[in-house]
Amino acid sequence: MTTLFDSLQVGALALPNRVVMAPLTRNRASPGQLPNDLMREYYVQRADPATGAGLIVTEATPISPEGHGYADTPGLHNAEQVAAWRRITDAVHERGGHIVVQLWHVGRISHVSLQPGGRAPVSSTARVANAKTYVGGGFTPVSPPRALATAEIAGVVEQYRQAALRALAAGFDGVEVHGANGYLIEQFLRDSINDRSDAYGGGIENRTRFLVEVMEAVAGAIGGERTGLRLSPVTPANDAAPDSDAQALFERAVERLAPLGLAFLHIVEGATGGARDHLPFDYAALRRRFKGAWMVNNGYTRELALQAVATGAADLVAFGKPFIANPDLTLRLRRGAPLNPLRQALLYGGGPEGYTDYPTLAEETT
């Protein structure tokens, strides 16, 4: 019987176990949107293949200055950021770990104070989201966006392609494109947000066009075997109201991506960070349309994760908050050991407290 702790080949990556560290925004980058030594310590703590993640997916990382929507998030859009990320990936690899970067464009989930020149954020639409973002140490309503002109969209696709190339230059083992949680790609996908009348709006074929173009560009640049995608078919995150036919939309999206040979698909089941049964959705039907590794996420306990892999319902299980509080999460799952409690108030911003000071089992017993 396959277990959560067995090795797995995922595209080009030979993973030592099937426990994945989910992407987790922590808002601790240095000025200039630079990854730093504290972040390196955080990732290295979770990189040991014997105790930590078989695969680390980094915090969401904007592909361009316009892609930022939260304070103190690290970027991947200039040479200085590439060099800073390289110090992290080298250290993770020295520990024996595997790490991919999550490529991010927030679209309308941003604030003018975070945009170049104080300009409006870009989106599929000019409608403002009923959502908040993290600015200046606290949360504030997002700014009204402007809809991308049709002629501008190819430039955004190119930003994704260039970011993927930078990811390999920075030493990452691959990338995960963030197509979930109400950010730019999902702002094109869902008819509850996308109100366009051009080739990127209207029916499902048009609304999946941007996603397909992005994935073709990324996979074409670095290979499908090093490319993954995160989707969240029914989450309400960031004012992403349900699509009128989510099942048909996401099944068609995955069908259109089949020729790319993607390494993995990372699915958020239910409401991100909330109820797994938020809205009905047939995830098994979606999986039948995908040939790569199937990664599941959202509220998985040890028992659920063990069952999902043992029954073949999933190839990989991603854990979010449990990895924040437990750098040796895989060892704890293997042993059935208690988990450290999460200090919720210390999730965003700050320094080592609530970030790199959670004890391992070995530290607890010394």
Could you list the active site residues?
Answer: 183
CB 21 within 8 A of CB 55: yes
- For residue 169, the number of C-alpha atoms closer than 13 Å in the C-beta half-sphere is 16
Nearest-angstrom CA–CA distance, 162 and 209: 19
Q: Name the β-bridge partners of 297.
A: 268, 318
Which amino acid belongs to residue 302? R
* Cα dihedral sign, 318-37-74-76: negative
SS3 172: coil
Contacts 24+ apart (CB under 8 A), 244-250: 244/191, 244/192, 245/204, 246/279, 246/281, 247/281, 247/282, 247/285, 247/286, 248/204, 249/189, 249/190, 249/191, 249/204, 249/207, 249/208, 250/189, 250/286
Nearest-angstrom CA–CA distance, 123 and 210: 12
SS3 195: coil
Going from the C-alpha of 362 to that of each of 45, 101, 105, 328, the distances in angstroms are 13, 29, 39, 9
Which amino acid belongs to residue 315? D
Nearest-angstrom CA–CA distance, 48 and 153: 40
